[in-house]
Structure 1
Amino acid sequence: MIEQVKTRKRNWHTIYRLVLRKDETLEEVGSYRLTLLNIYILLSSLILVAMGLMAVVIFFTPLKRLVPGYAEPTQHPEYIKLSKKMAALEGELTSYKLYYEHFNQLIRPPDSINAPKVSYTSKVVTDKKGKDTNGKKVNSNEPAKAPNTVLNSSPGMTILNLADYRYLMPPISGVISSGFDAEIDHLGVDILAPHDTPVKAIWDGHVITADWTLETGYTIGIQHNNDMVSFYKHNATLLKRTGAFVRAGEAVAIIGNTGKMSSGPHLHFELWLQGKPVDPTQYIDF
């Protein structure tokens, strides 16, 4: 048994000569001395090198995706990148949808079926001669006029009173340099204030627009209750984004001088009620 083991070891180290000759002339081209151990080491090395190259090609190229069970599709970098883009687009779509819905409510009048109607048909106190308490002759079939109204009534529209808005806060403390004038299409008031003064929300509401335009620069709009919308224009920077909820008196922007329609640092403030611009000085004490 021991002799057989020794014989096998000698066979591994037995030297052989590999001679290369031309077939036609039997001319010797080359001669190599080899052992079985050398041949085994050479073949093993070639196999290991081939396997290493194959592993590099598979794991460092897109071919790795062909390997069963290598990775889940959701773990691929491209899939993750596309998922993030889709999430961002979905968020923008939601913001634009909210923006559209709020402005659609401003542009369209309330539905005459669903909107509450206010009817001032209370009887006027008259005497036997058909005169009121002030001595003026009145028509008993004519509805009484609502006191202190600010908007003309129309079908399906609720008449608003100044008293309903006595709690509105001024967006900024300053001097009014230009007042409301619908005839020249100046649908708000211009307020002068020191540099870097914060612009505040006049009441609780949701931001329906917060963007930059060529004419009005950085502009933010807030939807309040009672179909009321406030706009703050020509800001230096905005502090809130579309869809954000703000409280009354909360800073939403910084006063500035942005936009082509601005000739100096100021705040252009607009107040809209039921889709119509109104004079803010009638509702807010600046």
Structure 2
Amino acid sequence: MSKKKLKRKKIAKKLYAKNRLVILNEDTFEEIFSLRLTLMNVFVVASLGAILIIFVTTFIIAFTPLREFIPGYTSGKMKREATELALKSDSIQKAIRENQIYLSAIKKALTGEVEAAKLNKDSIVADSTRINEQSLQPSAAELKIRNATTTKPIKK
């Protein structure tokens, strides 16, 4: 037989050789516990134990509040608060913009650029929210692109 086969047989023989684990009382040498084991049994039990510990640890971290201590995970409460703050800041920015338009209209009225009878906060806010129709008209470059794409046939 070749050396590799002999080596494999030797390793298999060691893995499956039966050994006895004995726990003795040191004073009386009385046998308290005895267990027959092989090296392969010990390896399999240790591997299964390690896999079980990894699974339980992953489960505890993934499905309990402990995940908040891991970088990258955030709590649901924090996400809700961030969304609420974003909405509040947006509404505050809108209110500031409207107040700035109102104050500039008052400034114009005080300097005499606008008639005082036309000054009304609601009309000023309505004017600020109107869309400029000129900004909706396509530019010359856009029209050129549209014409270029519509004249070419579409290849399939």
Could you say which residue in structure 2 is the equivalent of 1:197? none
Q: Which is higher, the Rg of structure 1 or of structure 2?
A: 1
Q: Equivalents in 1 of 2:66, 2:39: separation in Å?
A: 40
8 Å contact kept, 1:102–1:223:
no
Q: 1:66 aligned to 66, 70, 76, which one?
A: 70
Q: Equivalents in 1 of 2:116, 2:28: separation in Å?
A: 120
Gaps of 5+ in 1: 117-156, 166-205, 209-221, 230-240, 247-286
Kindly state the Cα deviation for residue 23 of structure 1 after the two structures are TM-superposed. Answer: 1.0
Could you say which residue in structure 2 is the equivalent of 1:12? 15
What TM-score, normalized to structure 2? 0.56
Structure 2 residue 84 is the aligned partner of structure 1 residue 85: yes
Superimposed CA distance per residue, residues 219-253 of structure 1 (whole angstroms, 9 cap, x where no aligned partner): xxx316xxxx9xxxxxxxxxxx9x7449xxxxxxx
Could you say which residue in structure 1 is the equivalent of 2:123? 223
What TM-score, normalized to structure 1? 0.34
Higher RCO (C-alpha under 8 Å, 6+ residues apart):
1
Give the structure with the larger helix fraction. 2
Superimposed CA distance per residue, residues 44-69 of structure 1 (whole angstroms, 9 cap, x where no aligned partner): 111111222232333344446535xx
Q: Equivalents in 2 of 1:102, 1:79: separation in Å?
A: 36
Secondary structure of residue in 1 paired with 2:33: strand
- Which residue type is aligned with residue 93 of structure 2? T
8 Å contact kept, 2:24–2:33:
yes
Root-mean-square deviation over aligned CA pairs: 4.1
Secondary structure of residue in 2 paired with 1:23: coil
Q: 1:33 to 1:159 in 2, by over 3 A?
A: closer
Percent of aligned positions that are identical: 15
Q: 1:64 to 1:6 in 2, by over 3 A?
A: farther
Q: Equivalents in 1 of 2:6, 2:45: separation in Å?
A: 28
- 1:139-218 equivalences under 5 Å are 158=115
Kindly state the Cα deviation for residue 158 of structure 1 after the two structures are TM-superposed. Answer: 4.8
